[in-house]
Amino acid sequence: MSNSVNISVETTCENQIREIAYDGTELYQPPPTLSESLAKCAARIDFSKTSLEDLKKEEKSAAAAEEDAKDANIFQESLWPWDAVRNKLKDAYTEICVLSDVISIAKDKRYLVLDPLLEDSDDTKPIVQVYTRKKAISQAAQVLLSGAERLRNAHSELRNPNVKDFHIELLRLRQNWRLKKVSNGAIIGDLSYRTAGSKFGMSGTFEVAKAEDVLDEETTTSNANSSGGNTPNTQISTNNGIQPNGSSSLRVIVPAELQGVAYIKVITQKDQEDLCTAQVNLMGHGPNITAQVGVWQKTLEFAQNVLFCKELFAQLAREAIQLQAPIPHVVIGNQIRATLLPNIQLIISLCHSTSFDSNQPAPINDHDHVLEHSLHQLLREVHYKNSHHPFPHPASAPLGPSKKRMIAGPTAADRDSLLEMTKTQTILEQIIAQAQHIFMRKRTQYVLDTLARDVKDPQIVSHWNAMNSPTMSCVKINIVTHGYDAFGRTSLVIHVKERSLKCICRDGRVMRLSYEPQELRDLILCQINSHQISCLVSLARCMAWTVLSNSNHLGIGKVEPLGNASSCLLASPNSDRMIAVQIRCDPQIDVKVYIARSPRQDFFPTPLVPEKFWENLGGNFKEVRFDKIEGKSFLNKMEFLMASLTSNTA
Amino acid sequence: MGVTVLQPYPMPEGKSGAYIIDHLGKRLLSLGATHAGQFLVDCETFISTPQHGTPTRAVHVLHNSECPASTFSIIDNGTGKQVALVADNIFDLLMLKMTNTFTSKKQTKIESRGARFEYGDFVIKLGSVTMMEHFKGVLVEIEYKPCITLSYCWEMIREMLQGFLSINVGKEYPSYFTTQTIMNAMGQQQLHKQNDIYEPMDTIKQYLEQFTNYRKHVQMHSAMGGTVGPVMMNTVVGMGRP
């Protein structure tokens, strides 16, 4: 069958093109003959890269590089692989021959003997061994001993609490004060109130350093267990040892202007007399930790106190100059003088003593804790307002107005309340208001107490409110007669403000008094006046006597120096006796009592008035010697009088 | 903020508004009142763009110089229900952004401006009402500061008004305070506004009521073809007339 097709399989013509003629014909390099290909394979043989072979290769490449231009290069390359192979084989053959010769000679043992190699004998002496072992062991022992020493120290520290290590002191210091380390290794602390909101310019930085031992245990040996990196210049005293009690291994250096002890003294002076005094001091407040932590705590506390007092005084002085008061405030040196009331002055002074005397200055009498605390609180309030701003709701509202102002819009606040919100008081104004109020309160108390002591007949009882504000107090005064409390009690409330008093009586009358004590005294006397008459009216009703008339403001007789006279006219149950009472304020309470009999004893019919019945019109009033009547009080005497004048005859 | 009552003053014939205000002011000063500044209450109205089906809503934005930090706003949906709001002054800026929904009708901007007198516990304001520079009338506002309930002090306010205005003020409460009947969850209830605690919003609502009256009168007048001049209030705003 000749259906099959002859297929010829040929390799592609992969011969290299040697030349391309100008007419496009290509001249191929003839494919390598079998011998050429064998030579190429032989050239690839790698005789385990002996140095000889490498050298030869290098030579070959060098030679090839040199003779690159020549045409004879091709020929030499084709011969070269065989040459290389031949040489390699020749060398290998030579070496094998030599080896076989050597082995045969060695086997003969006549000219060449093969002996095993002997090892080196160890020629060190035992003593050297001992020395090396000893050194090694002593080094190990050293390590162990130092470790044991450290453990022993730690144990002894735990047992003995008096040992003060610098680091423990530093830890205590850090627990109470703000410290930080600066670049040159020193430790700087801050005792100012900046973080609490103060804007005072004086810096309150202090430095912490190691205490140098005065009684030196002199070992400045290079015990390199110097604890921590501090200023490299400080002496490294043996801190591992136990320090002498009383001194600490830590020292603080405060700036010169904050050294010493300072306090602010507040005095109220009346014409060169001291009325009351206050000291402002931060000492004695807060937990006392000086006992456990040593001298530096006290130093720092004093320094902080000095800073606080300076800030307070600077603020007060600034306000004293800026404020305009009717009588201007005077600032001289470290004293501020302000006038509270005529003849009464408030003196605020900053006392700063730089010498460390342990005894406090002589305690000034009448130490006023209130003013002291107030000044402290006022400055703290300023600090607080500086650091706490009310958050605006919504968050896009401006930051600044107080919460009240922010809700003033939606709650339709009127103009007066908006105006109130804008008013602020400086520290000096506030402390002056408080001092004025304290003074007014003392004066009012004095007036009431002296009146209560002097006037015995109706008793004046005053109840002061326990809860007050720094600028207002209230007192309730009850005027009662002992034994007759049920008949009547006159009460009034007095609001004591900064420069005035406001009196509210039971009947609703409101009276405003000034700071003069005499006005209050007069008012109370007038109230006593009206009290007596009103109680008498109730008493008379009780005794079945008829009150014919009474008046609180009698306008007859001589003009009274104080207030108005009050009077009362009573008639007995039988209408046969009449009593007339007049009370005046002279300024002592002056009581006049008159009685009259109804059918006159001295009636004689005259031609003008002939009838007998005219005797019932009542006779003259005769004065009673009221001070001689038995009785403890006015009402008591009146009761006896009325009782004695009541007769049973119909 | 005490109880405030608005009293429109009936203008006598032939006298101008300025003359009336001057006359009343002199009376007050001779009574012993002290002149204490000026006051201004203004009202601007925004109408919602008319949409199919829903009645047009109106937003009234009012200011009162007595509450300078606040802006008042009342929404009037067409059915008569009113919703009131008190806000910060920034509310005005908000209204500017609402021009898509609400358009301002500048021609109905109305205000009451004048002198303010303080007389003891009373604050009396004599206001001349103007709308787009046209004088509309005299509106007297009287405030009694200590009291917060109208029913306690209405008699005193009435006496005071009659005293210096020399007009007859009716014994019944002003129209804003009359008892209303409302429906709520508990059935029909009577709302006694005169016994409630008085709020600054009540002043503004009264002003809105008065301003609406003035506006209606203008519309009536213009509908009748009359000129816009000094307005006689006898027929329409008859609150103070017996």
In SS3 terms, A617-639 reads as HCCCCEECCHHHCCCCCHHHHHH
3-state secondary structure A591-602: EEEEEEECCCCC
Residue A558: DSSP 8-state: S
Asked whether the beta carbons of residue A410 and residue B66 sit closer than 8 angstroms, the reply is: no
A13 has a pLDDT exceeding 80: no
CB proximity under 8 Å: A 37-76 to B: none
pLDDT at A227: 38
Kindly state the tokens that stand for A127. 């003593």
CA distances from A27 to A16, A33, A34, A75 (A): 9, 17, 21, 20
CB contact under 8 A, A412 and B71: no
Query: How far is B14 from chain A, CA to nearest CA, in Å?
Result: 37
Which band of pLDDT confidence, cut at 50, 70 and 90, is reported for residue A276?
low
Residues A447-459 have pLDDT tens digits of 999 999 999 889 9
Query: Cβ separation of B67 and A410 shorter than 8 Å?
Result: no
- Cβ of A413 within 8 Å of Cβ of B87? The answer is no
- A554 and A516 co-located in one domain: no
Q: Are residues A477 and A349 in the same domain?
A: no
Residues 6+ apart with CB under 8 A from A192: A198, A200, A202, A203, A204, A205, A304, A307
pLDDT for B112 beyond 90 = yes
Q: Are residues A483 and A618 in the same domain?
A: no
Say if A622 falls within a structural domain. Answer: yes
Distance of alpha carbon A308 from alpha carbon A282, whole angstroms: 8
Per the CB < 8 A criterion, the answer to whether A626 and A593 are in contact is yes
Contacts with B70 from chain A: Cβ below 8 Å: 408-413
Q: How far is A410 from chain B (nearest CA, A)?
A: 4
Residues A446 and A324 grouped into a single domain: no
| A203: closest CA of chain B, how far (Å) | 42
Residue A137 lies in a domain: no
Contact assessment for residue B17 and residue B130, using Cβ atoms and an 8 Å cutoff? no
pLDDT score recorded for residue B231: 44
Residue in B89, B199, B201 nearest the CB of A409: B89
Regarding predicted confidence, which is higher, B48 or A339?
A339
* pLDDT at residue number A244: 39
What does the pLDDT read at residue A537? 94
For the cut 80, the answer to whether the pLDDT of residue A74 exceeds it is no
Q: Which of A529, A562, A584 is the last residue of a domain?
A: A529
What integer is the mean pLDDT of B26-33?
A: 94
pLDDT tens digits along A314-350? 999 999 989 888 888 888 888 888 888 888 888 888 8
Residue B119 confidence (pLDDT) above 90: yes
**Same domain, residue pair A617 and A512:** no
pLDDT at A173 exceeding the cut of 60: yes
Q: Does A418 touch chain B (CB under 8 A)?
A: yes
Quick check: is A337 in a domain?
Answer: yes
pLDDT of A650 higher than 60 = no
The chain-wide mean pLDDT, for chain A, equals: 80
Same domain, A570 and A640: yes
What is the distance in angstroms between the Cα of A394 and the nearest Cα belonging to chain B? 12
A411 touches chain B (CB under 8 A): yes
Both tokens of A437, joined, read 């109020």
Nearest-CA distance B144 → chain A (Å): 14
pLDDT of residue A93: 95
Task: Please give the radius of gyration of chain B, using alpha carbons only, rounded to the nearest integer.
Answer: 18
**Mean residue pLDDT across chain B:** 84
Buried b (16+ CB within 10 A) or exposed e, B203-226: bbbbbbebbbbbbebbeebeeeee
Q: What local confidence, expressed as pLDDT, does residue A505 receive?
A: 92
Question: What integer is the mean pLDDT of A280-292?
Answer: 48
State whether A565 and A597 are in the same domain. Answer: yes
Q: Can you list the alpha helix ranges (DSSP code H) found in A241-395?
A: 290-293, 295-322, 369-387
The mean per-residue pLDDT over the stretch A494-523 comes to 92
Chain B residues whose beta carbon lies within 8 Å of the beta carbon of residue A393: none
H or E, element range at A564: strand A562-571
Which helix H or strand E contains B212, and what residues bound it? helix B200-224
Distances from the Cα of A621 to the Cα of A5, A56, A560, A585, A593, angstroms: 180, 169, 22, 22, 9
Query: Are residues A524 and A570 both part of a single domain?
Result: no
State yes or no: pLDDT of B226 exceeds 50: no
- Asked if A490 and A620 sit in the same domain, the reply is no
Structural domains of chain A, count: 3
- The domains located in chain B, with CATH, are 3-220 (2.40.320.10)
Residues of B in CB contact (< 8 Å) with A are 1, 65-72, 86-89, 199-201
Q: Which pLDDT belongs to residue A288?
A: 46
Residue A82 located in a structural domain: no
Q: Is the pLDDT of residue A225 over 50?
A: no
Decide if pLDDT at A359 tops 50.
no
Residue A169 located in a structural domain: yes
Quote the DSSP letter at residue A198.
-
| Together in a domain, A291 and A203 | yes
Residue of A nearest to B2 (CA): A414
- pTM (two decimals): 0.64
Of A410, A414, A418, the CB nearest to B88: A410
Domain shared by A294 and A338, yes or no: yes
* pLDDT band, very low/low/confident/very high, at A54 (cuts 50, 70, 90): low
User: From the CA of B180, how many Å to the nearest CA of chain A?
Assistant: 25
Binary contact (A415, B89; C-beta < 8 A): no
Residue A306 lies in a domain: yes
Domain that holds residue A205: 162-211+246-390
Residues of chain A found within 8 Å of residue B87, distances taken between Cβ atoms: 409-410
Residues A191 and A285 in one domain: yes
More confident residue, B130 or A397: B130
Task: Tell me the chain A residues in contact with residue B69 when contact means C-beta distances shorter than 8 Å.
Answer: 405, 408-409, 413, 418
